[in-house]
Amino acid sequence: MDSMKYIATPFRTKEILNKYSFTFKKSLGQNFLIDSNILRNIIRRAGINDSSGAIEIGPGIGALTEQLAIHANKVVAYEIDQRLLPILKDTLKTYDNIEIIHEDILQADVKKMIQEQFQREQEVNIVANLPYYITTPILMKLLREDLPVSSITVMIQKEVADRMAAKPNSKSYGSLTIAIQYYTFAEVVMNVPKSVFMPQPNVDSSILKLTKRDEPPVQVEDEDYFFQIVQACFAQRRKTLRNNLSSHFKEQYTKEEISELLESIGIDGIRRGESLSMEEFATLASEFYKKSSR
């Protein structure tokens, strides 16, 4: 197909939007990609090949969906906006390896869909240009459901991508970093200029690749409890661990008890959350867990 005909060009995108008198819904965070080179780059980084299955979230008018259909064996895309269904049916009609599901990804049973739509041994990857306002809930849902996917490669707000891929002792490192890196290896593979979107967003974008870990890097007794402790340590970034944990446990423990517990595991209470490695958070959560179970 001649590249001028691809959906991801300014001309084709405008043509499709005009044909359907489509207006962007701010509440759905719709920004369509108009550069097919960027899309092919995303697909290459995601490791998609002609035997892969691909899952997309929010296909819009089908710019990324089309490129996935060209490079992958099968594509399943979730679209919440009913107005886009007839458009997708039209723009993607020449491809026979695409399934569009009209459903909110946050409500969807993705595991069941994978069993039904893909072959048993097929490698499946999630590739998406995610709406910025709902990136974190979508990613956390996909990760916590332990889906049989190899990786998740998403275009998201640069600042959020930096937080997800951050290292300890950096400004971006926080509870979101720990939550994402508990389940995956996270890396920012590419930054993307605002000019490749229609309409142009107000923020810069990055492509983040999350590769599923076989197992979490740390052992914890209770995942929810572990994440709760991590969040408590970052509740107020400028406060020390001792102060943040004292506020969190004010009903259960005195400041002295918290200081003793920190001392017993060799973590200085005047450190801040951002200086702790994931291993240190796991040790900390484990001690509090044992103490509360006594």
How confident is the model at residue 275, as a pLDDT?
97
pTM over 0.75? The answer is yes
153 pLDDT more than 80: yes
Nearest Cα to Cα of residue 248 among 267, 257, 271: 257
Q: Write down the pLDDT at residue 203.
A: 87
Residues whose CB falls within 8 Å of the CB of residue 288, separated by 6 or more in sequence, listed in order: 225, 229, 249, 261
Asked if 48 and 68 count as a contact pair (C-beta separation under 8 A), the reply is yes
pLDDT at 15: 94
Q: And the tokens for 289? A: 């867990």
Gyration radius (Cα) of the chain, Å: 22
The answer on pLDDT for 293 being more than 90 is no
Instruction: Give the closest residue to 175 by CA, choosing from 287, 284, 273.
Output: 273
Which residues belong to the annotated binding site?
A: 31, 33, 58, 79, 104, 129
Q: Which positions make up the binding site for S-adenosyl-L-methionine? A: 31, 33, 58, 79, 104, 129
Q: What is the mean pLDDT of residues 18-38?
A: 81
The arithmetic mean of pLDDT across residues 185-190, rounded, is 97
CA proximity to 203, closest of 167, 238, 160: 160
Whether residue 100 is predicted with pLDDT greater than 90 in this model: the reply is yes
Q: Which domains does the chain have, with CATH numbers?
A: 3-212 (3.40.50.150), 223-293 (1.10.8.100)
Mean pLDDT of the chain: 94
